[in-house]
């Protein structure tokens, strides 16, 4: 496409060549990677292709005053991987487009790609291309991820039925707690009352979340989950998506929400209920999924054998039930509408 040249400080073509030299990896599935008009890949016969894309805008989704370019790259890649994980697919190929503002240096772009590629290498995802432009104001990053899954096997949001168990992987609320710690003043009392190890755990969960790719594949291949979504907006918001798509209601057991010891300790220093963090906190990138009652014993057995941490947090109800949560004293309240959208 004909367009204006990249920002004067950054030479577009040398940059692309450097990115290619540093980050291109071989794969028998790649017929042509970076360097031609388009990439060409071969997809295994009988597979379904899963595609997702994300556009991240400086000042909206991330803030380069509080996040390093490397962590922006890391989290951008992980958010896309998490979407493919929530479909139960294998992530394979990545395209990255960037629009670079004048203030950014080449070193920042390389740091961003280092963060991004550390995720790709860990999950065996290959960078096969992208596009580069100048931006008058602010950094833009668009990531497109291609995954594959066996034909007929994909986890959708719309398969939950009344009576299914509601489950979640890992722990909830850590990322929000970590973000609050990162953005609160260093000398504030809550920070000093929290043990250094807990603070480190929470901020690391925010900066370096983990997409549950292996868990998604397991749930999909064994046809264990009836519906799945990744927790990117917060449990209450994402459960709402599943319920709306599946036309069902849900009952959440607040006592059963999996909350890490560090998150509990943080909630105590703030004098808040940790369940609030778990319900509202986005960007944990855990999987929220539903399982038919008859498959729950098998799910438990296999999760234990594979050492996957999963927790049952409620039950799908008929639509008229709405979304309710039950506290330890048995009282039921509507699940709050809180939903969290923030990149940094
Ligand atoms: P075109 O003008 O056809 O878009 P480009 O010069 O933009 O070609 O791109 C040349 C090659 O470099 C293509 O393979 C493209 O996918 C790749 N590429 C361009 N920008 C990036 C980027 N930011 N990250 C990774 N690959 C890129
Ligand atoms: Mg181009």
Tens of pLDDT along 214-270? Answer: 999 999 999 999 999 999 999 999 999 999 999 999 999 999 999 999 999 999 999
Ligand nearest, relative to CA of residue 16: 1
Report field, pTM of the whole predicted structure over 0.85: yes
Ligand 1 atom showing the smallest separation from residue 37 Cα: 3
- Sorted by sequence, the CB contacts under 8 Å of residue 106 that are 6+ apart come out as 9, 10, 15
Ligand 1 atom showing the smallest separation from residue 36 Cα: 14
18 pocket-lining for ligand 1 (C-beta < 6 Å)? no
Ligand 1 centroid to 45 CA: how many Å?
Answer: 28
109 pocket-lining for ligand 1 (C-beta < 6 Å)? no
Which positions of the chain have pLDDT values less than 70? 1-9, 185-192, 338-344
70 pocket-lining for ligand 1 (C-beta < 6 Å)? no
Ligand 2 centroid to 103 CA: how many Å?
Answer: 21
Give pLDDT, residue 8. Answer: 53
Closest by Cα among 337, 147, 170, 144 to 241: 337
Please state, in angstroms and as integers, the Cα–Cα distance from residue 173 to each residue in 150, 276, 302, following that order. 33, 8, 26
- State which of 7, 131, 135, 145 you would mutate to test the pocket of ligand 1, scoring each by most atoms of that ligand within 8 A of its C-beta: 131
3-state secondary structure of 202: helix
Give pLDDT, residue 216. Answer: 98
Contact 12, 5 (CB under 8 A): yes
3-state secondary structure of 55: strand
- Sorted by sequence, the CB contacts under 8 Å of residue 158 that are 6+ apart come out as 227, 245, 246, 247
Please state, in angstroms and as integers, the Cα–Cα distance from residue 285 to each residue in 33, 175, 247, 282, 315, following that order. 29, 9, 24, 8, 21
Paired tokens of 338: 């809180």
Q: Whose CA is nearest to atom 18 of ligand 1?
A: 130
3-state secondary structure of 159: coil
Q: Phi, psi at residue 325, to the nearest 5°?
A: -120, 145
38 pocket-lining for ligand 1 (C-beta < 6 Å)? no
């Amino acid at each position: 496409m004909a367009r204006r040249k990249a920002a004067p400080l950054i030479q577009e073509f040398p940059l692309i060549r450097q990115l290619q030299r540093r980050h291109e990896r071989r794969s028998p599935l790649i017929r042509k990677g970076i360097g031609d008009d388009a990439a060409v890949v071969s997809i295994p016969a009988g597979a379904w292709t899963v595609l997702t894309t994300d556009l991240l805008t400086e000042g909206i989704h991330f803030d380069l005053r509080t996040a390093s370019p490397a962590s922006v790259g890391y989290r951008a890649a992980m958010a896309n991987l998490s979407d493919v994980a929530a479909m139960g697919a294998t992530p394979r190929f990545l395209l990255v487009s960037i629009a670079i503002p004048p203030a950014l240096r080449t070193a920042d772009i390389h740091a961003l790609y280092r963060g991004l590629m550390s995720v790709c290498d860990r999950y065996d995802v290959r960078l096969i291309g992208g596009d580069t432009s100048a931006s008058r104001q602010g950094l833009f990053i668009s990531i497109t991820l291609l995954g594959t899954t066996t034909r007929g096997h994909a986890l959708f949001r719309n398969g939950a039925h009344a009576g299914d168990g509601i489950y979640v992987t890992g722990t909830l609320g850590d990322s929000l707690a970590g973000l609050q710690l990162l953005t609160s003043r260093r000398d504030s009392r809550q920070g000093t009352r929290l043990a250094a190890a807990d603070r480190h755990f929470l901020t690391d969960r925010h900066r370096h979340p983990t997409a549950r790719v292996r868990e998604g594949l397991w749930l999909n291949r064994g046809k264990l989950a009836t519906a799945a979504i990744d927790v990117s907006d917060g449990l209450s918001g994402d459960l709402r998506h599943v319920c709306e798509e599946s036309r069902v209601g849900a009952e959440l057991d607040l006592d059963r929400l999996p909350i890490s010891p560090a998150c509990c300790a943080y909630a105590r220093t703030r004098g808040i209920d940790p369940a609030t963090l778990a319900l509202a906190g986005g960007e944990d990138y855990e999987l929220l999924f539903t399982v038919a009652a008859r498959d729950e014993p098998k799910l438990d057995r296999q999760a234990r054998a594979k050492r996957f941490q999963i927790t049952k947090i409620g039950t799908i109800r008929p639509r008229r039930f709405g979304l309710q949560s039950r506290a330890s004293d048995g009282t039921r309240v509507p699940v709050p509408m809180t939903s969290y959208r923030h990149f940094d």
